């Protein structure tokens, strides 16, 4: 059976802050630097390239508690990226027959789509924020790869 464990070490003895029988994807630290943002596969299964659904959660190491931020359908779990100021998370999904990029606030809320792809043969990957957090770069792949960007979202 699949098992995931997240450890934290602050110079003292390392301690377990989360254990699961599901796949876990580390996204990054929260804007305060005190909580960890992770994706949790809700069905106790191995991680897939395209997850049917994944919960984006905030882990609180000081209390070992978890708060759900959003449930994301048809997610590419290895394509989640926190913004440089850690207030937003960008991710790619395959919904309604096509790949698109979405953004959700790291504090939680409703995801917002920022691309309008309708081509089922076009795949989005390689998300990366600009250092100022105002531009999101990504790769579009069909029969060849090209690099694109989204500004002013």
Residue that wins the pLDDT comparison between 65 and 101: 101
CA distance 136 to 21: 33
Res. 11 pLDDT band, cuts 50 70 90: confident
User: How many Å separate Cα 88 from the centre of its chain?
Assistant: 10
pTM of the model: 0.86
pLDDT top residue among 5 and 146: 5
For the cut 60, the answer to whether the pLDDT of residue 1 exceeds it is no
Q: What is the pLDDT of residue 42?
A: 80
pLDDT at 145 over 70: no
% pLDDT > 90, the chain: 59
Determine the pLDDT at residue 60. Answer: 92
**How confident is the model over 66-74, as a mean pLDDT?**
93
Query: What does the pLDDT read at residue 146?
Result: 66
Can you identify the CATH homologous superfamily of domain 4-151?
TolB, C-terminal domain (2.120.10.30)
Q: What is the pLDDT of residues 100-134, one digit of tens each?
A: 999 999 999 999 999 999 999 999 989 999 999 99
């Amino acid at each position: 059976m699949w098992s995931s464990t997240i450890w934290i070490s602050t110079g003292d003895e390392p301690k377990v802050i989360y254990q699961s029988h599901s796949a876990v994807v580390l996204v990054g630290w929260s804007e305060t630097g005190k909580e960890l943002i992770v994706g949790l596969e809700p069905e106790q299964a191995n991680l897939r390239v395209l997850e049917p659904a994944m919960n984006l959660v905030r882990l609180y190491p000081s209390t070992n508690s978890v708060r759900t931020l959003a449930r994301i359908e048809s997610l590419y779990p290895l394509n989640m990226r926190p913004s440089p100021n850690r207030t937003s998370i960008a991710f790619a999904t395959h919904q309604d027959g096509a790949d698109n990029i979405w953004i959700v606030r790291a504090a939680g809320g409703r995801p917002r789509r920022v691309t309008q792809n309708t081509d089922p043969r076009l795949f989005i990957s390689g998300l990366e924020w600009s250092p100022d957090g105002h531009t999101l770069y990504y790769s579009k792949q069909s029969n060849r790869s090209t690099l694109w960007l989204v500004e002013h979202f």
